[in-house]
Amino acid sequence: MKTTLRLLILLFACSILACVNGEKLNDEDTIQTFLLQLQSVPSSFEDNDFPEWLSIKISEIETIHSRDLSIVKVKIYKGEWNERIVYFILDTLSSCGFCEVYYENGTKLSFSNNSSADFCTSSKNWKLIYEFGNGLY
């Protein structure tokens, strides 16, 4: 099971390299390390006081993926980057892993090649705040 999970994580990390808001990343080790670290962050499901825009996004996720419940896994993480609250939506069916990163007010982050690596290395205080689906990742 662990080998299967590692393989899925590796495949997902490789798919992320194909697209970061339309841009290639320079450092795949940085991204893989970041994604592996997210696997061990604490969960905080009891604090579900989501901003309005995120509640709407969650409703969209549940509607769009309701038929794929057995294969999809969507996770939303809350963390800090550059002294601001950020939300990272990780969808295992998406080929673009960093396309759904938002500031607390709902503004989508636009990464340059340099800031995507910086995001992976300097973001902090991540918590898993939402999870949907029964997929493996």
The domain spans of the chain are 2-132
| pLDDT single digits (tens) 69-117 | 778 889 999 999 999 999 999 987 776 778 899 999 999 998 765 677 8
Give the Cα separation of 115 and 84 in Å (integer).
14
| pLDDT single digits (tens) 21-72 | 444 444 678 888 888 899 889 888 776 789 999 999 999 988 987 787 778 8
Tokens read off for 76: 């939303």
Strand, coil or helix: 44: coil
65 within 8 A of 59, measured Cβ to Cβ = no
In this predicted structure, what is the pLDDT of residue 128?
Answer: 94
Is the pTM of the predicted complex or chain greater than 0.85?
Answer: no
